[in-house]
Amino acid sequence: MKKIISLVLVALLACSCVLGLTACGGSAEKKELHMATNAFFEPYEYYEGKEVVGIDAEIAQAICDKLGYELVIDDMDFDSIITAVTSGKADFGMAGMTVTDERKESVDFTDSYTTATQVIIVPEKDSKVNNADDLEKAAIGVQLGTTGDIYVSDLKDAKIERFNKGADAVLALTQGKVDAVVIDSEPAKAFVNQNEGIKILDDPFADEDYAICLAKGSELTEKFNEALKELKEDGTIDKINAKYIGD
């Protein structure tokens, strides 16, 4: 009897060891979540050496930490992000992306994590464009597929030049190839700091909400919303914004 009991004990011990190892192995291989972004949009996502940093990168990291995923950032043209998400190539898109009704037809959005505005960048001297009305007949640089692009596309007499990167639109402005650039407020500040001779007009063009997009019906959306709520409540999001923008 004693022998049988000890055999059973040994067997039980062996089982629990195997189970324990499997459990350990399982958690060592954290599941990845792929974030589609366009990493030329300081301060939300941009390269520091080979690493993508910025407000979105840090919020995404904090969400993945909470939910137990490993974050992988996939850099692509802004215009490709929604397709990457709808096709399942990426698990979510985060790119200073504005919530719009049209985008809502193809993806789900989380709750908004920040507000922003579209602004107009012009040459510091002798600008042809001095307010939003002046855009009507101007040559305007925008980033392809952004809300800036969508807004100015309504202007019938304007000449729109579409670029893959906001930086290329700003370069065209500094070279006098376009009269103005319409782009998000924080990246606009970064561009104006990095380039001589351009400024942001005082009156903002449009108010927007940024959110994370996911495939329609994704089970992650609810979890992301819970994580975002906690990160808002415990001050993490404020802290990340303060780090990159100031209070």
Q: Is residue 96 at the binding interface for ligand GLN, with CB under 6 A as the rule? A: yes
Span near ligand GLN by CB under 6 A; candidates 83-91, 92-100, 151-159, 215-223: 92-100
The DSSP annotation for 154-193 comes to T-TT-EEEEESSHHHHHHHHHTTSSSEEEEEHHHHHHHHH
Q: How far is the CB of 52 from ligand GLN (least distance, A)?
A: 13
Q: Is residue 97 at the binding interface for ligand GLN, with CB under 6 A as the rule? A: yes
Q: Is residue 163 at the binding interface for ligand GLN, with CB under 6 A as the rule? A: no
Site string for ligand GLN, 113-142 (x = CB under 6 A): ------------------------------
- For ligand GLN, which residue of 78, 92, 163, 191 counts as binding (CB under 6 A)? 78
DSSP letter for 143, please: E
Q: Which residues contact 70 (CB under 8 A, 6 or more apart)?
A: 30, 31, 32, 33, 64
Site residues (CB under 6 A) for ligand GLN, limited to 34-53? 38, 41
In this complex, which beta carbon is closest to ligand GLN, that of residue 80 or of residue 146?
146
Q: Could you write out the three-class secondary structure of 59-109?
A: HHHHHHHHHCCEEEEEECCHHHHHHHHHCCCCCEECCCCECCHHHHCCEEE
Q: Token pair for residue 247? A: 């209070």
Q: Is residue 80 at the binding interface for ligand GLN, with CB under 6 A as the rule? A: no
Instruction: Give the binding site for ligand GLN (CB under 6 A).
Output: 38, 41, 78, 95-98, 143, 146-147, 184
